[in-house]
Amino acid sequence: MTMDSAPTVPSLALEPTPEEVLLRKTVSEIVGRYGHACYMAASAQGEPMTDLWNELADAGFIGLNIPEEYGGGGAGLMELAIVLEEMSAGGCPELALVLSPGIVGSILVKHGTPEQRQRYLPAIAAGREKFVFALTEPNAGSNSHNVATTARRDGSDWVVQGSKYYISGVDHCDHFLLVARTGRDEQSGRGQLSLFIVEPDAPGLTREPIPTALRAPERQFTLFFDDVRIPATHVVGEIGHGLVPLFDGLNPERVLSAVICTGVGRYALAKATRYVKERNVWGVPIGAHQAVQHPLAAATMEIEAARGMTWRAAALYDAARPAGEAANMAKYLASKAGAHALDTAIQVHGGNGLADEYGLADLWGIVRLQQIAPVSTEMVLNHIAQHTLGLPRSY
């Protein structure tokens, strides 16, 4: 990021607009009717929060980043991020919003064919159909260039062979966006990637759940592709050039991952602040002790700093400016700040911090996840070291 690019960002206001304030308030009221207990009940069942999702969809909030001509709100990533931050601040950090309108909606808006946009965007925007996203592989992990799941052309179809792991929400999706290798760059030796729309019940596709410590409505799966046929009409973007559309989805993913953390951080700090005002074990509320106040104050500042970078990243993305660096920084800062805020809130609750009733420790998985996915802390540091500091690539 260069200093001289900062003043030219067009839409990053110092204060939220009245529309943003109203959006936050409305989402917060809707989410408040459900609350964290509903989120945990859905998580225990491995079921989506359908009623909340439908209510947000009816209010037009699921597809805020989708153009109006496809039934969306015609706003941007900023507005979608506000929705998810308020959901998270209400104790309901739904990954489905990241995956469907966030990643796949963003990609289809920019890179879908006219037919694909007509077919899928109205359904995504209305929350009627959900997409998930399948990139990670057992033997490629953080190195997307090593993706080994292969699609080969066969007549009018593509035929996919390989596997993916840790794919969230496949059991409740209508479609998913698959990243597969369709060739190899002779010069660099790297895989040439392409994107495909796949139906979860396609013949030859099987899945196995991966039990994890994440307590969220979305479960994770390993997917096995055994000659899964995909019609050529389901290719998104240009064959062999999938990295371009991919990054138009991955930057929103980073911003949305960041607001899960800032939102849960706000949720945890609000609970903690209430608690320490009421809990009294030495004749005064524990919040009167400096050793209880200071960590809460520090965590509050960390969350606010992360939010500042997050809104900057969203504004850059919405202004169609390079957003990779800011999105990486936002995700890094927010994932650390969110985890620290949650941990601080647990600490000031004493033993109650671990009780299900207090709804804190059960959010550890979703916040801790954001230091691993969608891109790990270490890979963000690699990116910043190389591209911001100009240091040699270290991997």
Taking each helix axis from N to C end, the angle separating 290-318 and 77-89, rounded to the nearest 10 degrees, works out to 150
Q: Which is nearer to ligand FAD, 27 or 140 (CB)?
A: 140
Shortest Å, Cβ 365 to ligand FAD: 7
Judged on CB neighbours under 10 Å (0-12, 13-18, 19+), 335 is buried
Which tokens sit at 244? Answer: 């371009």
The candidate with the shortest Cα–Cα distance to 223, out of 191, 293, 176, is 176
Q: In the complex, what is the shortest distance from the CB of residue 331 to ligand FAD, in angstroms, rounded to a whole number?
A: 12
Q: What is the DSSP pairing of strand 175-184 with strand 131-134?
A: parallel
| Site residues (vs ligand FAD, CB under 6 A) | 132-136, 141-142, 166-168, 212, 214, 220, 369, 372-374, 376, 378-379, 382, 395
Cα–Cα distance, 136 to 375 (Å, whole number): 10
How far is the C-alpha of 222 from the C-alpha of 68, rounded, in Å? 36
When the beta carbons of 20 and 47 are compared against ligand FAD, the nearer one is 47
Nearer residue to ligand FAD within complex by CB, 93 or 295: 93
Based on CB atoms, which residue is closest to ligand FAD, 214 or 255? Answer: 214
Residue nearest to ligand FAD (CB): 141
* Nearest distance, CB of residue 17 and ligand FAD, angstroms: 32
Tell me how far CA of residue 93 lies from CA of 40, 76, 132, 369, in angstroms: 11, 19, 16, 12
The torsion angles phi and psi of 62, rounded to 5 degrees, stand at -75, -35
* Min CB(258)–ligand FAD separation in Å: 15
Burial of 28 (0-12, 13-18, 19+ CB in 10 A): middle
Q: Which is nearer to ligand FAD, 258 or 296 (CB)?
A: 258
The nearest distance, CB 178 to ligand FAD, in angstroms, is 9
Between 76 and 102, name the residue whose CB sits nearer to ligand FAD: 102
In the complex with ligand FAD, which residue's Cβ is closer, 167 or 292?
167
- Output the smallest distance, CB 24 to ligand FAD, in A: 27
Which of 350, 376, 373, 354 shows the shortest CA–CA distance to 363? Answer: 354
> How near is the Cβ of 43 to ligand FAD at its closest, in Å?
12
Nearer to ligand FAD, 287 or 374 (CB): 374
Give the residue with the Cβ less far from ligand FAD, 59 or 244.
244
Nearest alpha carbon to residue 308 among 329, 336, 338? 329
Shortest CB 308 distance to ligand FAD, Å: 25
Give least dist CB 162 to ligand FAD, A.
13
